[in-house]
Amino acid sequence: MAFNDNDNKMAEKAEKRMAQALATSKVAADTYVDQSQDVTLTKSDINRMAFRSLALQASFNYERMQAGGWLFTILPALRKIHRNNDDLKNAMHMHMEFINVHPFDVTFLSGLVLAMEKGKENISTIRAVKVALMGPLGGIGDALFWLTLLPICAGIGASLALEGSLFGPIIFLLMFNIVHFGLRFGLAHYGYRAGTSALPLLKTHTKRISHAASIVGMTVIGALVASYVHLATPLEINAGQAHIALQIDVLDKLMPNLLPLGFTLIVYSLMKRNVSPVKLIGLTVVLGVLGKLIGIL
């Protein structure tokens, strides 16, 4: 069957409309379809979220860290906020991304995020705030709980136990968990209230806040690379009687931690090519073992 000029023009117009629709869908993927904000999260909803946060690390893994527990924590509230199935799917997909935060003060972040979800903030803004607060909350949680509260409570409980008192471990558990649960539930409500009151500001300065949060997130990631990625070489360059250590005398002089940075950028580029994090972990182990055996790492 032959097509006339009108058919060809109609086909071209249809293709243009499809291309425009696809472009629009890509732009709109960052926003929720249902922008209504008439849902109210009650104190019971926030308390339920705080209670479910106890399972934050139940599905801990080295690919997405606490992502499964994080989504489990906020999922009932997300279902209440997003009545559109596509919106709920997009929110769940975003919240299954990598996250690693202190398990005791995580409720501040989850309360803040739920306030932003309720206000139908852009997905990229919510993601940026999550990334920006992961590091600071981790540092605060370690200092508050592991370095302050735990030694104090353990010291009191241990001193009673050494004197023969059966109340030593009981006192320790009571003291630690009264503060722990008080902060866990209190921070959940505080984070949600802070997020709700800040929503007008967030809506007015969304781009600036997202940009600032991204900068903070990149700073935290840069610090993590320098602190946790360890890679060095023992190779030496021999020029006559001169012996130059490649790591100390060359690479470190150019820029400290140059090898860890380079390796991190290589891993990042592979992830951008959709290489699985599990495969990257295996590749890292293989390269580390082979490099050690050969003597170059």
- Cα within 13 Å of Cα(231), Cβ side: 18
Nearest Cα neighbor of 103 from 71, 126, 70 is 70
Amino acid at 182: G
Q: What is the pLDDT of residue 11?
A: 52
Least confident of 45-49, 150-154, 206-210, 246-250: 206-210
Q: What is the pLDDT of residue 1?
A: 45
Measured distance CA(92)–CA(205) in Å, rounded: 25
Residues 6+ apart with CB under 8 A from 162: 168
**C-alpha 11, offset from chain centre:** 45
**Domain map (residue ranges) of the chain:** 43-224, 231-294
Amino acid at 66: Q
* pLDDT class of 25 with cuts at 50, 70, 90: very low
Give the count of beta carbons closer than 10 Å to the beta carbon of residue 295: 9
**What number is the average pLDDT over the span 133-148?**
80
Q: What is the pLDDT of residue 263?
A: 86
Six token digits for residue 15: 């293709």
**What number is the average pLDDT over the span 68-97?**
94
Q: What is the pLDDT of residue 22?
A: 47
Q: Which residues pair with 239 in a beta bridge?
A: 242
- Angle made by CA atoms 267, 270, 273, in degrees to the nearest 5: 155
pLDDT in tens, 158-207: 888 888 888 999 999 999 999 999 999 999 999 999 886 765 655 565 56
Q: What is the pLDDT of residue 42?
A: 94
Write down the pTM of the prediction.
0.65
Give the count of beta carbons closer than 10 Å to the beta carbon of residue 42: 9
CB 66 within 8 A of CB 100: yes
Nearest Cα neighbor of 188 from 296, 80, 52, 94 is 52
CB 229 within 8 A of CB 268: no
Mean pLDDT is highest, among 78-87, 214-223, 248-257, for 78-87
**What number is the average pLDDT over the span 198-224?**
63
**What number is the average pLDDT over the span 227-249?**
76
Is 84 a residue whose pLDDT tops 70? yes
Is 50 a residue whose pLDDT tops 90? yes
Residues 6+ apart with CB under 8 A from 124: 30, 210
Six token digits for residue 259: 């090898």
* pLDDT class of 210 with cuts at 50, 70, 90: low
